[in-house]
Structure 1
Amino acid sequence: MPVTANIRSSYRTRYGIIALVLLGFMAWCLNDGFFSYPQQKRIYDTYIQIRYPQGQGNLENENYLSDWRKRIDQFKAEDGIVIDSVTQPEEKTQMDINTQFVMAGITGLLGFAAAAYFISIGGAYVKADKETGLTTKKFESIAWDSITSVDISRWESKGIAVVHFDTPTSKGVVTLDDWKFDREETVEIYELVKQNTNLIPDNESGDDDEEMDEIA
């Protein structure tokens, strides 16, 4: 009877959550960069222009020191700019605005990468049949005699075994990972690989193979 190890929902959900958090932070940064920070900058700049209409040098002029609150109180709100003489607005510079776009770019790239991986592993599985061999989401048939080697160097410590294969139509690897796929079924598939290929020694001490991209 075939044994199928499906992608674990908890494993896939992690990447979905990561993607949502990163893309949400990207949206927040874009909102700050396009709207919130420019508005705060306009408010601060207006406040400074009213308080110091001829520049910072007027700090020594007693008239400016005594009249700035009156000038601010007389200012009429325009274009959403509301200021008062009690609280000084928070300063936002062009550098602050540019920083938001940089952070949006970084988190956006990471977020879209996580989302792409989340989508790509949907429905992923590894199936083993004693009569025919292995089947994955990408490869429909990998006969037992097409398997050329099995890297078990991380099986005991991490539950990862890398099956290398070479068929007339394709060449690559299938990664058995008991954290990524259903654990019990992954162990059963590992045992079937061991029984049907004679590539895994009984002591299960494998040599380190060159790492390859996961295909399963």
Structure 2
Amino acid sequence: MSNNTIRAERDGKYYLRFLLMALGALGFGLWSLYDGMVTYPDQLKRDQMFVQLAKEEEETGESRKQEWEAFAAENGYDPAEKPDAEHLMNPGRIQGQFIMAGVCGLATLGLLAFVLRSRGRWIEGDGTSLNSSWGQSLKFADVFSIDKKKWKNKGIAKVHYKEDGRKKMFVIDDFKFKREPTGDILRQLEANIDKGLIVNGKPEGPKKPKAEEAPK
């Protein structure tokens, strides 16, 4: 690595939010799985018995209160809490919980894979070129445009360049990578190209020196 090389490592703070999202998806998925395996089947059993006894009571004209109370006591239900006839449990709702658990599981795996793949990623500028840990690189001389439309608000600058006659793009992102060195890389690039190639934004100004620490 030469003296002109500036490297920006991935910013763990950016990826922390995806870890939290993965944990949230995992928790919701486990909750859905528990409902599908335990809570909802238990409710289905209760609702089916309630409907059956209500039907028998209607057909015979005889009360099924004792049967309901015995069933409730045997299964640990409160006999006073009768199912809502308009919101009875059904097998479709149980199946829906398993589908939801599956979706959450896939989301969890996807988010974790995204975070794990980011480990060890970096971008760097060496005074004449941009390079990355994933193999993408370009010469400053091949740049024909730097779009800074999203740089101010989102920290994204799109570097457009040509390679073997084909147009390509290199994204400089100071959210995914450490902000200060990422800004230095962009500043280095802009200092080595025609300023007229910078669109939708102004060139970066001189880097401000760090404030000296106050004496103890």
TM-score range, shorter chain: 0.7 to 0.9
Query: What aligned pairs does 1:8-47 form with structure 2 within 5 A after superposition?
Result: 8-47=11-50
Residue 120 and residue 55 in structure 1: after superposition, are their counterparts in 2 closer, same or farther (change >3 A)? farther
Opposite residue 144 of structure 1, the aligned amino acid is F
Q: TM-score, normalised by structure 1?
A: 0.73
- How far apart in 2 are the matches of 1:33 and 1:75? 22
Instruction: Give me the whole-angstrom Cα distance separating, in 2, the residues matched to 1:38 and 1:107.
Output: 21
Specify the SS of the correspondent of 2:32.
helix
Question: What is the CA distance between 1:154 and its match in structure 2?
Answer: 2.3
C-alpha distance after superposition, 1:80-129 (max 9, x if no partner): x4445333357422232233234334434443332232222222211111
Alignment of 1:109-124 (within 5 A): 109-124=106-121
Paired residue for 1:86, among 56, 80, 86?
80
Say whether 1:178 aligns with 2:174: yes
Q: TM-score, normalised by structure 2?
A: 0.73
Q: Which amino acid aligns with 2:196?
A: P
Q: Distance in 2 between matches of 1:171 and 1:5?
A: 25
Separation in structure 2 between the aligned mates of residue 14 and residue 156 of structure 1, nearest angstrom:
21
Letter in 1 for 2:173: D
Contact 2:145/2:199 (<8 A) preserved: no
Q: What is the deviation of 1:39?
A: 2.2
2:65 aligned partner = 69
Structure 1 residue 186, shift from structure 2 partner: 1.1
Of the three residues 40, 53, 56, the one matched with 1:54 is: 56
What is the aligned partner in structure 2 of residue 3 from structure 1? 6
Conserved? CA contact 1:15–1:115, under 8 Å? yes
Instruction: Map 1:179-198 to 2 at 5 A.
Output: 179-198=175-194
Pick closer, same or farther for the CA change 1:55–1:111 going to 2, 3 Å. Answer: farther
Find the partner of 1:128 among 125, 130, 133: 125
Give 3-state SS (helix, strand or coil) of 1:118's partner: helix
Q: Does 1:145 align with 2:141?
A: yes
Identity of aligned residues (%): 28
1:17 CA drift (Å): 0.8
* Cα offset, 1:55, TM superposition: 6.0
Task: Tell me the secondary structure at the aligned position of residue 52 of structure 1.
Answer: helix
Separation (CA, whole Å) in 1 of partners of 2:72 and 2:149: 73
